């Protein structure tokens, strides 16, 4: 309002001056003044509308949160009070896989529960039999920083990609002399780095996410783009496919702090969650498919329920300062494993929200973590060039150790007398 008054005032002033002293200078001054004023008002108008849009979007967001909160009548740890606590778990590293020349960035398990594929910064992708720690195949990619790799469900191929903006599929051949790189098939093409890739239920389709802010579904045979998913405002860092019956959705997390749930068939974003305070590095579905967990640079893991449409648990501790790079659930969904940038692995009780175990061993940050398909162990890859397969401490031995010393002593004394009697 005042701006319009200012303009009117200035124009009137100029006109008066022109009437009094009709000189060229005056007229030029008037014109210049008018131009400056109009530019200023335009800029102010633009700023006004931007501010208005921002306030409008903020008000809508608060309204959405209010709607979500209406049906939230109980917290997860309250519901979980009736469940038995887990006590302290002991995890131990069972296998160490050495062979990469640089930081390990990603890994994936094969459906046969013992083979894994891993990729590293030096461009090497290695297929291991983790049980025997033998290397079975090795591929050298033409680019460095291979940030994504995946094993095909049939076990016959691996997909990998990274800074080359592409996702390539290598069929695994058993002929030792054959160069795997010769049969490479370039499937996905993005305009920025590939951050994650995953096969859908078969070898024929691949889902990829990229630093260009999109996810895409590709047909492996033809390399054709089947569907693209737009909606993230920044790099997409991770994705996971839903284990549900209909098998048609997936979740992705990005640098815009949002986790989006997408419908693979229509390409639409069905649900969106924005409660993290920093980039989301990893997302993983709960085994039943009704929820998913996310790990972020803000050092927390959060559990989001899809039916209640809200975050239901936060897994954090004041002593944990460094960000989470990857998360995964155990088979039953009771335990949540998180690999952290402070070189440790923390194991959380999903229902109670408490930490049940911490595993040391890596000498640099943990970059990737996956639980094996049958839940017997989990594998972690780290920037210290190694991969470690770990599992819970041996059960029968643990039960023996848990016996108190008095009981052990009485048992020994009893057996001693028993043998004495037999000999006598």
Partner 1 sequence: MTINTLLVKEGCPQEQMACFRKMEKVIVAMQDPDMGMKMRNQRLLITVIPHAMTGHDIITWLIQKYCISEEEALHLGNLLVKYGYIYPLKEPRSLVLRRDESPYRFQTPYFWTSTQWPATELDYAIYLAKKNIRKQGELMEYEKERYSLLHKRINHTWDFVVMQAREQLRASKQRRKADRIVLECQEQAYWLINRPAVTCQRALGRNRVKSSNCLEGFLKHSEQYQNHDPIMQGCLPSNPWISDDAAHWTMNADVVPVPTRLRVERWSFSFMELLSDTMGRKEFMTYLEKEFSAENLCFWQACEEIRHGENSRISEKVNEIYKNFLAPGAARWVNIDSKTMYKTLEGIKRPHRFVMDDAQMHIYFLMKKDSYPRYLKSDLYKNMLAKAIVPQETKKSVFPFMRRQRHSSPSPAQAATQATEEDGRVKEAGQIAEIVSAQQRIRAVRKTL
- Among positions 385-404, residues that touch partner 1 (CB under 8 A) are 389, 391-392, 394-397
Residues 291 to 320: which contact partner 1 by CB under 8 A? 291, 305, 307-310, 312
Query: Of 98-106, 252-260, 317-325, 327-335, which part binds partner 1 (CB under 8 A)?
Result: 327-335
Number of Cβ atoms within 10 Å of the Cβ of 98: 10
Should residue 58 be labelled a site residue for partner 1 when binding is judged by CB under 8 A? no
Should residue 338 be labelled a site residue for partner 1 when binding is judged by CB under 8 A? no
* Candidate list 39, 50, 90, 314; residue touching partner 1; CB under 8 A: 50
Q: What are the Cα distances from residue 56, in Å, to 49, 61, 138, 172?
A: 10, 9, 54, 54
Q: What are the Cα distances from residue 238, in Å, to 32, 40, 104, 180, 241?
A: 55, 44, 16, 27, 11
What is the C-alpha separation between 303 and 79, in angstroms, rounded?
A: 15
Pairing of strands 104-109, 115-120: antiparallel
What is the C-alpha separation between 95 and 154, in angstroms, rounded?
A: 24
Residues 87 to 126: which contact partner 1 by CB under 8 A? 94-95, 110-115
* Candidate list 41, 316, 330, 364; residue touching partner 1; CB under 8 A: 330
Q: How far is the CB of 139 from partner 1 (least distance, A)?
A: 14
* DSSP label of 257: S
Q: H or E segment at 324?
A: strand 324-329
Contacts of 333 (CB under 8 A, 6+ apart): 286, 287, 288, 350
Q: CB-wise, 36 or 53, nearer to partner 1?
A: 53
Q: CB-wise, 172 or 239, nearer to partner 1?
A: 172
| Angle, CA of 367, 370 and 374, to the nearest 5° | 170
Should residue 252 be labelled a site residue for partner 1 when binding is judged by CB under 8 A? no
Residue count, binding to partner 1 (CB under 8 A) = 101
* Candidate list 145, 285, 286, 315; residue touching partner 1; CB under 8 A: 286
Residues 350 to 389: which contact partner 1 by CB under 8 A? 350-351, 371, 374-378, 389
Q: CB-wise, 192 or 364, nearer to partner 1?
A: 192
Should residue 67 be labelled a site residue for partner 1 when binding is judged by CB under 8 A? yes
Residues 171 to 230: which contact partner 1 by CB under 8 A? 171-174, 190-191, 200-202, 204-205, 212-214, 216, 219, 221-222, 224, 226, 228, 230
| Angle, CA of 147, 106 and 286, to the nearest 5° | 115
Q: CB-wise, 320 or 379, nearer to partner 1?
A: 379
What is the C-alpha separation between 235 and 253, in angstroms, rounded?
A: 9
**Beta bridge partners of residue 225, listed in sequence order:** 218
């Amino acid at each position: 309002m005042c701006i319009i008054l200012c303009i009117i005032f200035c124009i009137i002033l100029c006109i008066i001056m022109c009437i009094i002293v009709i000189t060229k200078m005056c007229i030029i001054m008037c014109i210049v003044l008018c131009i400056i004023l109009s530019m200023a008002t335009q800029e102010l108008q633009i700023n006004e509308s931007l501010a208005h849009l921002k306030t409008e979007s903020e008000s809508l967001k608060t309204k959405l949160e209010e709607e979500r909160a209406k049906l939230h009548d109980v917290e997860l740890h309250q519901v979980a009070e009736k469940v038995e606590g887990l006590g302290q778990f002991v995890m131990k590293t069972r296998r160490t896989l050495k062979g990469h020349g640089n930081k390990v960035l990603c890994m994936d398990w094969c459906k046969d529960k013992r083979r894994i594929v891993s990729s590293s910064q030096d461009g090497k992708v290695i297929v291991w039999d983790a049980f025997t720690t033998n290397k079975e195949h090795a591929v050298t990619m033409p680019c460095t920083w291979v940030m994504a790799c995946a094993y095909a469900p049939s076990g016959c191929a691996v997909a990998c990609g990274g800074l080359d903006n592409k996702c390539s599929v290598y069929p695994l051949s058993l002929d030792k002399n054959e160069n795997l790189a010769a049969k490479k098939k370039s499937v996905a093409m993005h305009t920025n780095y590939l951050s994650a890739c995953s096969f859908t239920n078969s070898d024929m389709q691949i889902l990829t996410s990229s630093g260009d802010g999109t996810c895409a579904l590709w047909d492996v045979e033809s390399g054709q783009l089947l569907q693209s998913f737009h909606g993230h405002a920044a790099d997409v860092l991770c994705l996971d496919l839903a284990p549900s019956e209909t098998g048609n959705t997936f979740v992705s997390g990005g640098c815009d702090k949002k986790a989006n749930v997408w419908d693979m068939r229509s390409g639409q974003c069905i649900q969106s969650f924005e409660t993290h305070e920093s980039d989301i590095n990893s997302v993983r579905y709960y085994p039943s498919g009704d929820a998913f967990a996310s790990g972020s640079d803000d050092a927390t893991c959060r559990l989001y329920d899809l039916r209640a449409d809200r975050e239901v648990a936060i897994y954090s501790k004041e002593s944990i300062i460094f960000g989470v790079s990857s998360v995964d659930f155990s088979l039953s969904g009771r335990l949540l494993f998180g690999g952290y940038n402070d070189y440790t692995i923390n194991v959380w009780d999903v229902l109670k929200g408490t930490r049940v175990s911490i595993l040391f061993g890596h000498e640099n940050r943990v970059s990737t973590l996956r639980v094996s398909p049958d839940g017997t162990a989990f594998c972690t890859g780290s920037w210290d060039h190694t991969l470690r397969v770990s599992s819970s401490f041996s059960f029968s031995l643990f039960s023996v150790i848990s016996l108190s010393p008095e009981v052990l002593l009485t048992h020994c004394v009893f057996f001693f007398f028993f043998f004495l009697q037999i000999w006598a």
